[in-house]
Structure 1
Amino acid sequence: MLSSRIGILGGGQLGLMLLQAAIDWNLDVHILDPDAHAPCKSIAPHFQQGSLQDYDTVYAFGKELDIITIEIEKVNVEALERLEQEGKKIYPQPSVIRKIQDKRTQKQFYADHGLPTAEFILTEDKEDAARHESFLPAFHKLGKDGYDGRGVQRIAQPADFHKAFDQPGLLEKAVAFEKELAVIVSRNESGELRCFPTVEMVFHPEHNLVEYLFAPAEISESVDREAKAIASKTAEAFGIIGILAVELFLTKDGKILINEVAPRPHNSGHHTIRANATSQYEQHWRAILNLPLGDTKALAPSAMVNLLGEDGYEGTAVYEGMELLLATPKVYPFLYWKTHTKPFRKMGHITILDEDLSSLKEKVDFVKKHIKVKSK
């Protein structure tokens, strides 16, 4: 299988890190991305500019390949279904992508399979959402095309319904949670399954992006076991081949609920490149090539800080504080080959290792304070 011709739909930062892992194994990787200057462009063995949502483009890209995977869910599933019918291996499978593309279908899938999640009501438009005052406080989520915090509105009281989406979506009951957790689980074609250690995520207060995370999460052994069990059960229910990132709420009354999932490498696993015996990116290749899954153990406690474009700056990116960062032991920057910055754009991430948790947290504060992405 290592000699297979492999395609990735998407050439952004996740594709870049998949490609970096693929280089170690001399994999023949082909990239399709709509951006002629996508992060993968400079190092991809084969790069094609084209729409990920156009049927003909995706089909033509895939028909000469053996295995096709994704780094983003917003792709043309109909083309992937046809390719699958013609004998191409598509991982994650088109049926999984289709379910996860629509948050309405995704939520109903959890309910149908006995997977714990917050209460929800499916809504057709803004007027329909406003009929459910008694369900508040809640979040109104777009069924399709929400991404990185876009497509989510908090509806705390009836006066907030003007913010609801006038498209099919869902109202999700606001959950009082103690922590936001994530478990990345991998599963290959033979059914072998492994979880990475549970991580604790901290989100940006305004933009609903992961600002930083700690691994492993500061939780009890019993909570850790339950989180991994729920993630594993979710992966088995989908029957996914590849990586599945399962985002979870640990509620104030001790329950664990699924928030959302992503059928690909994920922001909550960036740190694994340095912090774990096997990175999530190598593990994804192992899973879709049906190879033995790698050891997921943590080599040391770690943190990951997302490097976001500073508010108020747009233009050619300038990275301030890199000298200070590189002078700090066990601090590793990963930049995403994006020359143009804008407010809160993901420009890179920084992985931090330290055996001492308090020192690890001090390093996180140091990185957040001193490393900035501005513009010329």
Structure 2
Amino acid sequence: MTTTAAPRPLRIVIAPDSLKGSLPAAEAALAMAAGVTGAAARLGHPAPHVVLAPLADGGEGTLDALLAAWSAEPRTTRCHDAAGRARTARYGISARQDGAGSPVRGVLEAAEANGLPLVADLPLDALTATSYGVGEIAAQLLDDGAEEILLCIGGSATTDGGTGLLSALGARFLDADGDPLPPGGGGLAALRTIDTANLHPRAREVRWRIAVDVDNPLCGPRGAAAVFGPQKGATPDDVAVLDAGLAHLARVVSAQTGVDVLEVPGTGAAGGLPAVLVPFLGAEVVPGSALVADAVGLAGALADADLVLTGEGSFDSQSLGGKVVQAVVENAPATCAVVAIAGRVQLTAAQVQDAGLAAAFSIATGPMALEELIGGAAALMEDAAAQVYGVFGGRRGQGDGQEDGRLDGQPDG
């Protein structure tokens, strides 16, 4: 008598970005997990082995994604916002893994200090807004023993070339008379010397990685001032002042360090924040999604996956330019299907498949207003994930000859 082996449970990795305005990445992952486990139960299948790996692209939500991956609680410290007002900011640090060879990693979102929403109650002043508070958080990470700092810099209100940040770490930006420059990017044209003699003693000992999701240069028509300055309150005259100041900063930096930051892609991000960190601290500018994928060990999590579910709010051409979905595709083995679930899908089937995905599905169940999609995002994500399981796991339960000794329906956080 021939017996058919029970099918092994599907190995499903769930690695979404946040759905901005509705669901953080961790909540989106939980909703998708509920969808696939519920669908498997209804079909009488072995409970799938689910691994949760919420992701981010280096912008909003990155701190929470990494804290979840590290099983760490957020810490807080005092700092100042872009207008110089005192506030409390969150940051994170991983636990030391004895014998594992992994560094103690610290993560900070610059927007916790210099974020545009934090100064929305004031008239925007692009010329004086400072990144000093970001440096205060970084200094706290150094004091806490971080050996690697992951700096996520989206959503800034500043265009000071990172001078405020480095000032908080002990550097001095001096004019021809040896006096410190005023805060912000408006006075950079008067810079003559950058004194780093009193930098934080650990500032050059740690590895700095700066997460960006743009490749804009520091100056010029695609530079920090021209592209991002207006949204921070810069008038056309302000943009000209800021751009000239950043160009002058680059010349002074090059004269002192030999590094031409004008040639480094991505230094225009967040008002030029990387411009002084690259030459003085050896900081690396990297795509945010790649940084997060590395920090959470995404490649290892995907290694034996049968199915990978990813997603975000809007799946469009920008999703394939260094965002989370692209990072998932790049880290997934060729043997498993990658499926995107999003609030809206704006790519054709050919574009989706050319990008390395099996399919992309919208959570909309018909014509729906944006408010409906946002308000019902969790339930809609759950239902869409169940539909995907029905397609990709639907033949399970009929006996596929595969065996596995492990049944685990609980998500692996």
State the TM-score, normalized to the length of structure 2: 0.28
Structure with greater contact order relative to length (CA < 8 Å, sep ≥ 6): 2
Q: Looking at secondary structure, tell me which structure has more strand per residue.
A: 1
Structure label with greater radius of gyration: 2
State the TM-score, normalized to the length of structure 1: 0.30
